[in-house]
Amino acid sequence: WPINTIWIVFLNTTKPPFNEPDMRRAVHLALNRQELINKALDGAGVPCAMLDPKLVGEAALPLAEVEKIPGCRPNKEQDIAEAEKLVKKHHPNGIDIEMAFRQVGNYSDRSQLVAAQLRRIGIRGTLKTHESAAGYAAFGKGDFTLITAQDRAMDGTDPSDPFSLIWTTQGGSNYGKWSDPKFDELAERGLKATSKAERAKLYHEAQRYFLNGAPSAIPVGWVEGWFFTDKNVRNYKQSPSAYDNITFMKVWLAK
């Protein structure tokens, strides 16, 4: 069941090596989202999508189209070959970088998987662990090179939410300081459009533009949760947000 949370790999665009678009493109191409979700999330997730169709409906780019975009394709052979070329273009012998994450949940496991995938294309990472609050402080100041695993949970299910929070220039979680005027314009027009069809058209264009470029906040996928409900539980309804249904005020037991 969706929990309205997206796993992001953040790249810092303000300093080497990810101030270079080719290097950001290489990471986007190299990440095997299906493998990451299968191994780290027991398969509970929607790979590579910027918007989850289960949450926002038509505003999300159809998953059949997402899977054909370089970087998002399930068959990674061509993507990895292109990523290797981009890295070698700037760093013939590969490059060593620091990869950061907050010590919460299963971020350590996820980070090791991300590091292993990027090692295949010549980006060798040393993992740096932050206590949770210290990690947020460092990320907010731009004190990182690459963040291997950082979930962003949404309060609502409007398609504008992740755009405004993560990917636009002024986004509060735009840790990598990625900025693209065209993307900002599409996001703003999508936010203001009054027609549902027009909004979907604009968001589709924005998603295609982002995923075919050299992004900074790279979507691994939307995280889902496994739910098990006892047969005696009454009136519990799964919520499309991790922040809802946590008080159980209206839930009761049959016996």
pLDDT given at position 249: 84
Bridge partners, 102 (sequence order): 130
CA dist., res. 25 & res. 228, Å (int)? 39
Residue 243 has a pLDDT of: 74
**Helical H runs in the chain?**
21-30, 33-40, 53-56, 63-66, 77-90, 107-119, 132-140, 160-162, 181-192, 196-211
- Residue 237 confidence (pLDDT): 81
Q: What pTM does this model have? A: 0.93
Query: Which residues of the chain have a pLDDT value below 50?
Result: none
Query: Sign of dihedral through CA atoms 124, 126, 132, 137?
Result: negative
Distance separating alpha carbons of residues 196 and 178, to the nearest angstrom = 28
pLDDT for position 162 = 96
